[in-house]
């Protein structure tokens, strides 16, 4: 009976991961809006759990006094079209979608945004750049 119960739990966990369709599990760091180095720009990350839950978080270190501000939120189950992220600390809401390699800043409908804020310093004169970031491990 114990073996059957264990097998049932194992099958349910595999099935729930398969249904999530998440491109990976684990933590990835990213930086969509480049900002100037040393400006105290928050370091963002996301973590995908094996059950498909997606957590977003940030850590910001004040350059003047070294104080840290951080927050982590559960954005719900993985959605390949668009995910809403709302951080209460700074009342910041944004929409993203991501795949195995990159994360994209989008509008509410999942259309990838373009902005000057997303340009690397070397390309600031371009006008606007695609708001995307490669994941860092």
Give the model's pLDDT for residue 119: 83
Closest CA to 67 of 37, 89, 34: 89
Residue-level pLDDT at 137: 81
Residue 65, both tokens = 């006094």
Query: What pLDDT, on the 0 to 100 scale, is given for residue 71?
Result: 97
Is residue 76 within 8 A of residue 96, CB to CB? The reply is no
| Rounded average pLDDT over 17-42 | 74
What is the model's pLDDT at position 7? 42
Nearest one of 2, 55, 3 to 26, comparing CA atoms: 55
Q: Residue 32: its pLDDT value, please?
A: 84
Q: Domain segments of the chain: what residues? A: 20-133
pTM of the model: 0.77
Determine the pLDDT at residue 11. 46
When pLDDT is cut at 50, 70 and 90, the band that residue 6 belongs to is: very low
Q: pLDDT tens across 56-66, in order? A: 999 999 888 88
pLDDT-derived band at 15, boundaries 50, 70, 90: very low
Domain 20-133, CATH number (from 1.10.20, 3.30.2310, 2.40.128, 3.30.360):
2.40.128
State the Cα angle at 76 between 105 and 132, rounded to 5°.
15
> With bands split at pLDDT 50, 70 and 90, how would you rate the model's confidence at 34?
low
The overall average pLDDT reported for the chain is: 84
């Amino acid at each position: 009976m114990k073996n059957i119960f264990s097998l049932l739990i194992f099958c349910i966990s595999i099935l729930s991961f398969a249904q999530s369709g998440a491109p990976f599990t684990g933590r990835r760091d990213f930086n969509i809006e480049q900002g100037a180095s040393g400006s105290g720009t928050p370091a963002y990350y996301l973590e995908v759990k094996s059950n498909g839950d997606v957590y977003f978080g940030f850590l910001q270190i004040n350059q003047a006094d070294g104080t840290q501000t951080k927050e982590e939120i559960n954005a719900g189950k993985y959605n390949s079209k668009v995910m809403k992220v709302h951080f209460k600390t700074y009342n910041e809401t944004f929409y993203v979608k991501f795949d195995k390699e990159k994360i994209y800043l989008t509008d509410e409908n999942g259309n990838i945004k373009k902005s000057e804020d997303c340009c690397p310093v070397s390309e600031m004169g371009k006008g606007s750049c695609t708001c995307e970031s490669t994941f860092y491990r």
